[in-house]
Structure 1
Amino acid sequence: MKSFLKRLFLKEDPNVYKNKDAHLAQVLTVKDFLALGVGTIVSTSIFTLPGVVAASHAGPAVVISFLLAAIVAGLVAFAYAEMSSVMPFAGSAYSWINVVFGEFFAWIAGWALLAEYFIAVAFVASGISANFRGLLEPLGISFPKQLANAYGTEGGIIDLVALIVVIAVAILLSKGVSGVARIENILVLLKVSAIILFIVVGMTALHKTNYFPFIPKYHLNSDGSAFGGWQGIYAGISAIFLSYIGFDSIAANAAEAKNPQKTMPRGILGSLLIAVVLFIVVSLVIVGMFNYRNYANNAEPIGWALRQSGHPIIATVVQTIAVIGMVTALIGMMMAGSRLLYSFGRDGMLPKWLGKLSKNKLPNHSTYTLAAIGVVIGALFPFAFLAQLISAGTLIAFMFVSIGIYALRPREGKDLPIPGFKMPFYPILPGIAFLGSFGVFWGLGDDAKLYALIWFAIGLVIYFAYGMKNSYLANKDKV
């Protein structure tokens, strides 16, 4: 029993990761990480969630929900900034936890993040497809149902546009991150410009009566969820938090950063700050344009609000750019997810060929594997159920990273480098970040917790049946 427990707590030598990841091309700058972070965080959610959450949970107080969710995300981002500054390894939380807590806990954190990336790739691709087809319909161009929807959904067999866009991004990533970074930078600027255009035009159509009552009276919705009062704000936080988790995509690419001790903290914290400002301002504008009740079950609240306020051309421009901008989120998710899969293969926790690099020093095996799994998930599984796994899995990883600071700090300047950034107010803030993440997790629906439990049960079977026996750490220990 003692040897079994000792095996679970085996920690990886950080120098092993440093040497293995040194083969990756270190070409990404602060500008690239800011674009990657903003592109991933400010994705489809900014065009939908402010209106949807206002209508379903918080009313005008959706702004408070966004702000409180941002505070929790910001606290975790501090921990991510310090971790990535000390350990700029591919795989983010998975690799860090392997160093500070051991392989078993690293697997749990990494497996949690893997759910995020598998499902997020399918979701973002589906969102791109739906919006792209929506733009074509007024021109009289439509896809057959068999090629427009996932299998079993409204007569669908496969979502052809989603399939094509995932394959196209995978091929793009296989050519090198420098070229991808340039495309990402341009698309992010385009997307932010569209958001600013909405804000400027929307501010001309504000009505102060729409802000009152700012916090509506509490009651239960027909589905049993909370609306109004602090309960509605809390429900809004859990629904919104999905918007802010994209900064993990920056950390996952830390091994490809130039001067990571400075680049990583600036990229993580800077992109989150930009995203928070945009989310809060968009929320204030959209609830001020029309009463929040108008956004109930509205799949495109921003476009609807612009059209109803007399700006149909601007609505079309914003939505067109939004579709193009969604590609930035897909690029970010696929870059990060492929680096996580590479990390599992690098360590022997999953088949070792996932950790092999191409002649251009890129993890193309893991990139194509992620693309294939994302396409399968998008084709076979109902998104409404799987969506909740994204937040649940990521929040579990966030909790590990937050408390990981307590194990990291005593080793800095010893067997680990002194970081370029330290989480402030240690030892208080890491604990608050953990509690905040746990609080958001607790606010998720029961279905989300159940799906997370099933996902982790599958992960434990894979770990004990394969990863534990085949990991390089296990074989090194035997030697």
Structure 2
Amino acid sequence: MVEPGMTPTTPARPDGPVPPAPARSGGLGAAMMRRKPVERLIAEGGQGEGGRLKRSLGMWQLTMISIGATLGTGIFVVLGEAVPLAGPAVVLSFVAAGLTALFSALSYAELAGTIPVSGSSYSYAYATMGELIAWICGWCLVLEYAVSVAAVAVGWGKYLNELLSGTIGVTIPGWMANPPGAGGVINLPALLVVVLAMGFLLGGARESARANTIMVLVKVASLILFCAVAFTGIRAGNYKPFMPLGLGGVSAGGAKLFFSYIGFDAASTAGEEAKNAKRDMPRAIMLSLFVVTALYCLVALVAVGAMPWKKFADADAALAQIMKDVTGQSFWSVLLAAGAVIAIASVVLTVMYGQTRILFSMARDGLVPKLFARVSPKSGIPVANTLIVSAFCGVLAAVVPLGALADATSIGTLFAFALVNAAVIVLRKTRPDMPRSFKVAFSPVTPAIGFALCLLLMGSFELITWECFIGWMAIGLVVYFTYGMRRSQLAREARTEK
């Protein structure tokens, strides 16, 4: 265990070959390739600037974090955007996206049990592929988590409107319920849910986990209720033709719906607050993915059977609309909208949690300002980090449309997932004797397939999404070469050893 205020300089438990030391010379190339030993990453776990993160989460809480971060806007909102692309075959789109997520989830599970720290794929890349790749991965995660929060918050506002209009007959004016470019000036409901999530996060990890667990149970119950009610409205003719837009439509739908699976890796960001990270994190990741995939496929199958697929394009809150059409009553749609409001709020909460912990790890390594690693000694919470992330996500949610946010999030996530699959292969080769609480079967074939599937789905995005992604990466490289490369902890150590 590392005492507060101390920086570990040697591995806590050396397993296998001695890890590489920070590069002392060799110029730019050596600086970009310097790696942080796995043992050192583990030894530094929990330590921040002025305090430590508290270990308070068990397997149940970790699983609920992953389900909470995943199950939400994808099924409640993005489903309505994917059905027009794939038709009734949107069920296959969910399977395709879920298969891609499964291969990456296996890799995440192995690395989460081997390197149980808060940095998720950023830390895995730092230990295996070097500082530059780690930075790129971390920069992608900033895009994934921060923009995902904003996208989810936008979807929350749509169901809040449905709930208010169905209960008290009030509709939020368009100018304050939609961002610029989507018929409004500012999306205040989206901003509101970000502020609410910030309040829970500032209360502590355990308290946030308890609130999230309640919200997860409510949204699972809401989706089961939807399936039970909408099942009575299924018409066999709605499934014909099953694949009206061909395999290309299924692929496009899968790329759109991959957004629905973002978040299963959230448990890997809690490595330094888990009671038994090596045992519980792999289990939480796999269990959450199976639960989410089963619910997604069931809901999609019932939804396209209960409403003709062409009508989804005109439905803002598709599932609530189906409930209303099937029963002829507004009560059921209002009940579902209430569940959706709670469900989507839990996604905002858990994804914001993941974002703050990734920035915490990057700040501890010196790649972003140390402010993000500053922990309150009383609460064990990175307060300044949480406030900054909340402000950034709130602004994005208030002014950017959902569609653009979802696609930008998905492509950044796929790139990060591809790097995680590569990291498994590299670590198996460089540290074959390292203890692993979970091992991917048939490696390196399985992670190689996961890597290829990620690249395949990335190729399905439109040019504008690629342009945004490349622009984001270019900004990230500028930040790294002008700030991170010289200020990283390993760089400082290399300079003092000369």
TM over 0.5: yes
- AA at the equivalent of 1:355: A
Of residues 240-249 and 139-148 in structure 1, the stretch that sits farther from structure 2 once superposed is 139-148
From 79, 86, 107, the equivalent of 1:79 is 107
**Aligned counterparts of 2:74 and 2:383: Cα–Cα separation in 1:** 29
From 388, 402, 407, the equivalent of 1:388 is 407
Q: Tell me: CA distance 1:204–1:147, structure 2 relative to 1, closer, same or farther (3 Å).
A: closer
Correspondence 1:6-405 to 2 at 5 A:
6-22=30-46, 23-54=52-83, 56-138=84-166, 139-143=168-172, 147-150=176-179, 154-156=183-185, 158-216=186-244, 228-312=245-329, 313-359=331-377, 360-405=379-424
**Aligned counterparts of 1:160 and 1:80: Cα–Cα separation in 2:** 35
- Is residue 181–residue 401 contact of structure 2 (8 Å, CA) maintained in 1? no
- AA at the equivalent of 1:409: R
- AA at the equivalent of 1:303: A
Q: Residue in 2 aligned with 1:4?
A: 28
SS in 1 for 2:217: helix
**Aligned counterparts of 1:356 and 1:326: Cα–Cα separation in 2:** 29
Q: Tell me: CA distance 1:329–1:472, structure 2 relative to 1, closer, same or farther (3 Å).
A: same
- Deviation of 1:148 after TM superposition, in Å, equals 3.5
Q: Tell me: CA distance 1:207–1:333, structure 2 relative to 1, closer, same or farther (3 Å).
A: same
- Deviation of 1:86 after TM superposition, in Å, equals 0.3
**Aligned counterparts of 2:177 and 2:315: Cα–Cα separation in 1:** 20
How many residues are matched? 464
User: Runs of 5+ in structure 2 lacking a partner?
Assistant: 1-24, 47-51
- Deviation of 1:317 after TM superposition, in Å, equals 0.6
- AA at the equivalent of 1:371: S
- Deviation of 1:133 after TM superposition, in Å, equals 3.0
From 413, 433, 444, the equivalent of 2:450 is 433
| Percent sequence identity over aligned pairs | 33
- Deviation of 1:161 after TM superposition, in Å, equals 3.0
**Aligned counterparts of 2:119 and 2:491: Cα–Cα separation in 1:** 19
Of residues 17-26 and 62-71 in structure 1, the stretch that sits farther from structure 2 once superposed is 17-26
Q: Deviations over 1:194-235 (max 9, x none)?
A: 10001111112211222222222xxxxxxxxxxx11111111
Does 2:489 correspond to 1:472? yes
**Aligned counterparts of 2:349 and 2:310: Cα–Cα separation in 1:** 34
- Deviation of 1:255 after TM superposition, in Å, equals 1.7
Q: Deviations over 1:275-313 (max 9, x none)?
A: 000000011101111221121232111111111112522
- Deviation of 1:382 after TM superposition, in Å, equals 4.2
- AA at the equivalent of 2:97: A
Q: Deviations over 1:331-377 (max 9, x none)?
A: 11100001111112111111111111112222222111110111222
SS in 2 for 1:309: helix
- Is residue 256–residue 407 contact of structure 2 (8 Å, CA) maintained in 1? no
SS in 2 for 1:213: coil
**Aligned counterparts of 1:435 and 1:152: Cα–Cα separation in 2:** 35
Of residues 282-291 and 142-151 in structure 1, the stretch that sits farther from structure 2 once superposed is 142-151
- AA at the equivalent of 2:250: I
- Deviation of 1:386 after TM superposition, in Å, equals 3.6
- Deviation of 1:411 after TM superposition, in Å, equals 4.5
- AA at the equivalent of 2:466: K
- AA at the equivalent of 2:99: I
Does 2:472 correspond to 1:455? yes
**Aligned counterparts of 2:55 and 2:332: Cα–Cα separation in 1:** 40
Of residues 30-39 and 185-194 in structure 1, the stretch that sits farther from structure 2 once superposed is 30-39
- Is residue 109–residue 282 contact of structure 2 (8 Å, CA) maintained in 1? yes
- Is residue 110–residue 282 contact of structure 2 (8 Å, CA) maintained in 1? yes
- AA at the equivalent of 1:52: E
SS in 2 for 1:424: coil
**Aligned counterparts of 1:356 and 1:127: Cα–Cα separation in 2:** 32
**Aligned counterparts of 1:101 and 1:393: Cα–Cα separation in 2:** 18
| RMSD value, Cα | 1.8
Q: Tell me: CA distance 1:88–1:184, structure 2 relative to 1, closer, same or farther (3 Å).
A: same
**Aligned counterparts of 1:347 and 1:212: Cα–Cα separation in 2:** 55
Q: Tell me: CA distance 1:302–1:114, structure 2 relative to 1, closer, same or farther (3 Å).
A: same
- AA at the equivalent of 2:350: G
SS in 1 for 2:440: coil
- AA at the equivalent of 2:370: K
User: Runs of 5+ in structure 1 lacking a partner?
Assistant: 217-227
Q: Tell me: CA distance 1:464–1:150, structure 2 relative to 1, closer, same or farther (3 Å).
A: same
**Aligned counterparts of 2:318 and 2:171: Cα–Cα separation in 1:** 22
**Aligned counterparts of 1:388 and 1:81: Cα–Cα separation in 2:** 25
Does 2:452 correspond to 1:423? no
**Aligned counterparts of 2:429 and 2:190: Cα–Cα separation in 1:** 47
- AA at the equivalent of 2:211: I
**Aligned counterparts of 1:392 and 1:299: Cα–Cα separation in 2:** 24
From 455, 460, 484, the equivalent of 1:443 is 460
